[in-house]
Amino acid sequence: MAAQHHHHEPSGAGLMEAARAELIASGEQWTGMRGEVFGALMAQARPASAYDIAEDVSKARGKRVAANSVYRILDLFVKTNLARRVESANAYVANPHPGCRHDCIFLICDSCGTATHIDDDKLTEALVLAARQAGFADIRPVVELRGICGDCS
């Protein structure tokens, strides 16, 4: 049985407000562009690349937004726990519980591309302990399992 913890997961305007509050609490500013990028990220059904987000924000603004600008914002969101990076897809998902700090495990469907987030603190703590015992510091577990989801199988 996985060691799990429970979250209050806001959505829509509630998630946007939780993200804004978390970013400000981390000492960063919530700008209009950051809000638009977070909104576009929240709207994605699957992990999205910076190019996907830049295209959505560009359409909403009616003018081109550079992917490099979106990458910088997404990197800030990952650093401040507002987003998670799906490493194997070079894509991002909005963190549905931005105030909670823990390591995530992603189950990624090779057929439809969805990424399901699960928590297993025992597993990620064991990985961190093993890495520390091997002499590593500043450890950030990245656990991604690929397969076919229940809807596609």
Confidence (pLDDT) at 120: 87
Q: What are 124's two structure tokens? A: 């990620």
11-46 pLDDT tens trace = 567 889 999 999 999 999 999 999 999 999 999 989
CA 32 – CA 104 distance, rounded (Å): 28
Confidence (pLDDT) at 10: 53
The parent domain of residue 66 ranges over 12-94
Q: Which residue has tokens 């656990």?
A: 143
118 and 66 together in one domain = no
Check whether 56 has a pLDDT greater than 60. yes
Q: Average pLDDT, whole number, for the chain?
A: 88
120 and 54 together in one domain = no
CA 18 – CA 69 distance, rounded (Å): 23
Confidence (pLDDT) at 12: 60
Beta-carbon count within 10 A of 92 CB: 27
pTM of the shown model: 0.82
